[in-house]
A = this chain, B = another copy of it.
């Protein structure tokens, strides 16, 4: 077995430069999923990846239509029924590029300089697509086969909130059947490897509070006409008590205390000093709810992320503004149903309406929490591959963030999930995104070992 890996490592070393040059073909597609003007580019990118899978000898390759952008599917099931089937997830769509003037090179050219490959998506997450394609190519060329059965699922709308993915997964349960899901939307850090094993659900909403038909004079109407900005303040001010506890009715009903093992994991992965420094604050806040490490990971939150109304320019304008608005993101604890939370939020907020001020709360995204393996052979396959490659195991980290697609898989498919990220870069979602090439090849080496290890898991 070590021979087959060494063969693969040798093949990779020989073709390294070509692999990076060829990567530019994938990076050239401006597959910006959030911008309808790029829909054809997203589609073209999907078709190109399909052709790559076909060239590798994958079967049933297809850009499967969804209500939004297509999902790239392909399978290689020749490892045998006694080998695990791994469903591999990554996404081929990318973030928008603005502000374009801040880029030092063309975002969709792929410029290599100082060991870095600069392009939008070079790291997030075309590296996940390309890393897998090159890992499979390497294993197939070096050994003529893959150590596991593979099903590919590369999404095309992760960067725009995955609006079609739940319906897609629901409609394709049989096709997606597998023994484990491998999430490849992530990062590989040789110095301090980390694996996110869980995160929160999410609900987003936008609220509009409207009163007079237009901005009216605060001298003539002050005291006479209810000011929508005051009502917005009342709503926002009432969401939390002074200790930070959320006041939505029944909001903590489905929040269960973490197990002792989970608390220990959370505490071990909690980087208090780095977080304080990152926020630029002297201390955290909300101590009455739970310890800081748990508040940041497994307790639900409600944050106003944007707020507006009336005159925002210099000086003063003597008006009662016609309307106010604000945006909310809520992070949900494990087991909090985002649909229930959405309903509660909408009812609560709209309950502040009066005879003269109307309130509309529009729910945006809805996502379940996610939970990956924290022990067992699937995680061990990843840990062992990382350890053999870089000399240390990954720290398990619970994030307070949300990954909607994983929540969908947890809930609809119930597969075990583990994760592996290809390469490391910076500028994700920002100008001058890049992929560090050395790190990318280190991760490819780990990936060869990972698929080998997965092939050893008994199913």
Contact = CB atoms under 8 A, between A and B. Distances in A.
A240 B239 CA distance: 17
Contact of A356 (B281, B315, B356): B281
A37 interface: no
Contact of A286 (B204, B223, B285, B313): B223
A307 B310 contact: yes
Interface in A287-340: 289, 292, 295-296, 299-301, 303-313, 315-321, 324, 326-327, 329, 331
Interface stretch (A22-30, A132-140, A212-220, A436-444): A212-220
A169 interface: no
Given A237-B234, A239-B230, A307-B232, A281 B212 contact: yes
A200 B219 contact: yes
A227 interface: yes
A321 B306 CA distance: 7
B282 A356 contact: yes
Interface string A227-243: 10110111111111000
A399 to B, nearest CB: 7
Nearest to A213: B280
A414 interface: no
B304 A312 contact: no
A225 interface: yes
Given A236-B233, A237-B236, A281-B356, A227 B304 contact: yes
Contact of A310 (B212, B282, B305): B305
Contacts of A222: 296, 301, 303, 329, 331, 400
A207 to B, nearest CB: 11
B229 A307 contact: yes
A401 interface: yes
A219 B402 contact: yes
A312 B225 CA distance: 26
Given A217-B401, A226-B244, A355-B285, A306 B301 contact: no
Of residues A199, A238, A299, A308, which shows the largest number of chain B Cβ atoms within 10 Å of its Cβ?
A: A308
Q: Report which residue of A199, A364, A400 has the largest number of chain B beta carbons within 10 angstroms of its beta carbon.
A: A400
A218 B331 contact: yes
Contacts of A217: 401
Contacts of A233: 232-237, 239, 304, 307
Contacts of A286: 223-224, 226
A235 B233 CA distance: 7
A122 B356 CA distance: 38
A337 to B, nearest CB: 19
Contact of A311 (B221, B289, B315, B327): B327
A278 interface: yes
Nearest to A319: B305
A283 B355 contact: yes
B309 A316 contact: no
Nearest to A322: B280
Given A218-B303, A219-B199, A400-B221, A356 B324 contact: no
Nearest to A292: B224
B307 A356 contact: no
A354 interface: yes
Contact of A281 (B34, B225, B229, B318): B225
A211 interface: yes
Which A-B residue pairs are the 9 nearest by beta carbons? A213-B280, A233-B236, A237-B237, A219-B401, A222-B301, A306-B311, A223-B295, A306-B310, A226-B285
23 contacts: A200-B219, A212-B280, A217-B401, A219-B331, A219-B402, A220-B275, A220-B296, A220-B400, A221-B279, A223-B244, A224-B295, A226-B244, A230-B239, A230-B240, A232-B233, A233-B239, A237-B237, A281-B356, A282-B355, A303-B319, A307-B308, A307-B309, A318-B401
Given A221-B400, A306-B317, 5 more contacts: A218-B303, A224-B292, A227-B304, A303-B319, A305-B316
Interface of A: 34, 199-200, 202, 204, 206, 211-214, 216-227, 229-230, 232-240, 244, 275, 278-286, 289, 292, 295-296, 299-301, 303-313, 315-321, 324, 326-327, 329, 331, 354-356, 364-365, 399-402
